[in-house]
């Protein structure tokens, strides 16, 4: 997507932002964090945060993009006349870069799984019930997977063809949704599924903890791509008439829907199949193969699922790469390919310790856990909340109310006081509590 270009229609903008939002966050991360922090209690907190905090923040990022219409490292100065505020844009770029580095590790796992199941289909490899655990610790597998994921993202972005990818998501996303419905139906009809269903849907208030609450808030930022200025970038390509409040509402709705479906697919099955819900980042990869085993033509459906899952992850990684790239090349499209290559190489190198942290670097544990956990912690629970805090302060206290009124045409009277007074306080409290 070139900066000089606008989306041809609102739908292009919605597809791209929904593509950025819906990805590993909703499908892979949400169930595993919910499994670690209390199932139903986590779901409830996540829904509340997404609607009351995530939605207004998304509208806030969209309004900055639509009013400023330029790169995120200059947009804050352009709108306020204060060059120092461009640091919000730089911070977003750093956050997106680190996020991309560990995101690509999980993208790589999906790719290895796809290759493995194709291998089984064509009788090239033997089925191996312990495949996930062996793959995760094997440096060759994880690094090759990660490299391919970064390469595919890089190729799409260097040819500037993400427009086409976004159009394809008109077909892929509904397909993913339908497939999820099938998996959910199978999952909830397994013997012993009801325990898992209760675990996920019924909040037990004793499970609510400070850490879980922080993680639920961080998850709502991560899943909506907030606090990286990624959504500001996409909104800066919109035409004036795009209704950003409605667009934001539909993205939030889709994202919640996919998160809930992922939970409904995984928890009943995990309980029925005796898989530990606290398995961590491997949860989805441990549960789904067994679940698909119990579906007619399971292998075919599983491969289809993995391809759609990969697609969803790619539309997010594209936005991460494009954010960094657009700020470097600015209008000079001739630099696109070379810059995409360089960023990809550096991201790959940065991601190596994260990729290896499930295997050879497994014994390095500090702060939030493994190297991977620490990168995620830094991004999701420190940098994103700070990015979000600065963005909301910028919207509520620097931008003029009249200008905002022109772009936020729906629900302004509720949205504005939320963004100006309530959210900065709430987010600040959350940031502070984790250092106590």
Per-residue exposure over 250-268, b if at least 16 CB sit within 10 Å of its own CB, e if not: ebbebbbebbbbbbbbbbb
- Which of these segments, 2-10, 15-23, 136-144, 330-338, binds ligand PHE (CB under 6 A)? 15-23
CA torsion through residues 356, 357, 359, 361, sign: positive
Task: Look at residue 241 and give its three-state secondary structure.
Answer: coil
223 interacts with ligand PHE by CB under 6 A: yes
Residue 411 DSSP symbol: S
- Which of these segments, 132-140, 219-227, 236-244, 389-397, binds ligand PHE (CB under 6 A)? 219-227
Distance of CA 312 to the CA centre of its chain: 9
Candidate residues 49, 109, 149, 222; the one interacting with ligand PHE per rule CB under 6 A: 222
Residues 288-317 that bind ligand PHE (CB under 6 A): 316
Q: Which residue has 């390919």 as its token pair? A: 337
Give the orientation angle of helix 244-272 with respect to helix 193-201, to 10 degrees: 140
User: Considering beta carbons, is residue 50 or 404 the nearer one to ligand PHE?
Assistant: 50
Q: Which residue has 């599924």 as its token pair? A: 193
58 interacts with ligand PHE by CB under 6 A: no
Could you give the CA distance from residue 270 to residue 263 in angstroms, rounded to a whole number? Answer: 10
Contacts with ligand PHE: how many residues (CB under 6 A)? 16
Site string for ligand PHE, 313-352 (x = CB under 6 A): ---x--xx--------------------------------
281 interacts with ligand PHE by CB under 6 A: no
Candidate residues 1, 15, 26, 183; the one interacting with ligand PHE per rule CB under 6 A: 26
CB of residue 333 to ligand PHE, shortest distance in Å:
22
Task: Look at residue 366 and give its three-state secondary structure.
Answer: strand
CB of residue 149 to ligand PHE, shortest distance in Å:
13
Backbone angles phi, psi at 369, to 5 degrees: 135, -125
Could you give the CA distance from residue 88 to residue 83 in angstroms, rounded to a whole number? Answer: 10
225 interacts with ligand PHE by CB under 6 A: yes
User: Considering beta carbons, is residue 225 or 245 the nearer one to ligand PHE?
Assistant: 225
Residues 227-246 that bind ligand PHE (CB under 6 A): 228, 230
23 interacts with ligand PHE by CB under 6 A: yes
Give, for 314, the enclosing helix (H) or strand (E): helix 298-329
CB of residue 59 to ligand PHE, shortest distance in Å:
16
CB of residue 224 to ligand PHE, shortest distance in Å:
6
Candidate residues 14, 24, 157, 258; the one interacting with ligand PHE per rule CB under 6 A: 24
Give, for 31, the enclosing helix (H) or strand (E): helix 30-36
Could you give the CA distance from residue 251 to residue 352 in angstroms, rounded to a whole number? Answer: 32
Site string for ligand PHE, 98-127 (x = CB under 6 A): -x----------------------------
89 interacts with ligand PHE by CB under 6 A: no
Task: Look at residue 369 and give its three-state secondary structure.
Answer: strand
> Torsion angle of alpha carbons 283, 285, 291, 292, nearest 10°?
160
CB of residue 255 to ligand PHE, shortest distance in Å:
8
User: Considering beta carbons, is residue 154 or 230 the nearer one to ligand PHE?
Assistant: 230
Backbone angles phi, psi at 366, to 5 degrees: -160, 170
User: Considering beta carbons, is residue 319 or 344 the nearer one to ligand PHE?
Assistant: 319
Residue 288 DSSP symbol: H
Candidate residues 14, 15, 16, 21; the one interacting with ligand PHE per rule CB under 6 A: 21
CB of residue 20 to ligand PHE, shortest distance in Å:
5
Candidate residues 25, 56, 154, 351; the one interacting with ligand PHE per rule CB under 6 A: 25
Could you give the CA distance from residue 320 to residue 19 in angstroms, rounded to a whole number? Answer: 11
- Which of these segments, 17-25, 39-47, 298-306, 419-427, binds ligand PHE (CB under 6 A)? 17-25
20 interacts with ligand PHE by CB under 6 A: yes
Other C-beta atoms closer than 10 Å to the C-beta of 216 total: 25
Could you give the CA distance from residue 54 to residue 198 in angstroms, rounded to a whole number? Answer: 26
162 interacts with ligand PHE by CB under 6 A: no
User: Considering beta carbons, is residue 168 or 254 the nearer one to ligand PHE?
Assistant: 254
> Torsion angle of alpha carbons 351, 354, 355, 361, nearest 10°?
130
For ligand PHE, the binding residues (CB under 6 A) are 20-21, 23-26, 96, 99, 222-223, 225, 228, 230, 316, 319-320
């Amino acid at each position: 997507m070139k900066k000089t270009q606008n989306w041809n229609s609102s739908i292009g903008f919605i597809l791209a932002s929904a593509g950025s939002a819906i990805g590993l966050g909703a499908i892979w991360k949400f169930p595993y964090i919910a499994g670690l922090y209390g199932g139903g209690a986590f779901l409830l907190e996540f829904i509340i945060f997404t609607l009351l905090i995530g939605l207004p923040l998304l509208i806030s990022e969209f309004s900055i993009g639509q009013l400023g219409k330029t790169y995120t490292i200059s947009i804050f100065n352009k709108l306020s006349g204060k060059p120092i505020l461009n640091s919000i844009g730089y911070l977003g770029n750093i956050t997106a870069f680190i996020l991309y580095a560990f995101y690509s590790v999980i993208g790589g796992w999906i790719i290895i799984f796809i290759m493995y199941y194709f291998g089984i289909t064509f009788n090239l490899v033997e089925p191996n019930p312990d495949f996930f655990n062996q793959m995760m610790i094997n440096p060759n597998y994880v690094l090759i997977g990660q490299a391919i994921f970064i390469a595919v993202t890089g190729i799409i972005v260097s040819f500037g063809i993400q427009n086409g990818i976004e159009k394809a998501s008109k077909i892929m996303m509904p397909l993913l949704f339908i497939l999820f419905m099938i998996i959910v139906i199978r999952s909830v009809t397994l013997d012993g599924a009801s325990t898992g269903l209760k675990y996920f849907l019924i909040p037990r208030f004793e499970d609510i903890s400070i850490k879980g609450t922080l993680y639920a808030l961080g998850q709502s930022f991560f899943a909506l791509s907030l606090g990286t200025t990624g959504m500001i970038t996409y909104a800066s390509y919109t035409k004036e008439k795009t209704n950003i409040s409605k667009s934001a509402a539909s993205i939030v709705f889709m994202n919640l829907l996919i998160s809930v479906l992922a939970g409904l697919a995984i928890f009943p099955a995990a309980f029925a199949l005796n898989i530990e819900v606290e398995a961590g980042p491997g949860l989805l990869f441990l549960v789904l193969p067994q679940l698909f085993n119990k579906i007619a033509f399971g292998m075919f459906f599983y491969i289809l699922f993995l391809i759609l899952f990969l697609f969803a992850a790619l539309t997010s990684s594209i936005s991460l790469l494009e954010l960094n790239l657009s700020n470097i090349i600015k209008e000079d499209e001739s630099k696109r390919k070379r810059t995409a290559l360089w960023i990809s190489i550096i991201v790959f190198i940065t991601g190596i310790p994260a990729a290896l942290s499930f295997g050879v670097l497994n014994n390095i544990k500090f702060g939030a856990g493994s190297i991977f956990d620490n990168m995620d912690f830094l991004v999701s629970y420190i940098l994103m909340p700070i990015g979000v805090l600065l963005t909301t302060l910028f919207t509520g206290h620097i931008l003029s109310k009249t200008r905002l009124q022109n772009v936020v045409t729906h629900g302004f009277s509720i949205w504005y006081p939320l963004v100006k007074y309530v959210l900065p306080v709430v987010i600040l409290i959350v940031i502070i509590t984790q250092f106590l």
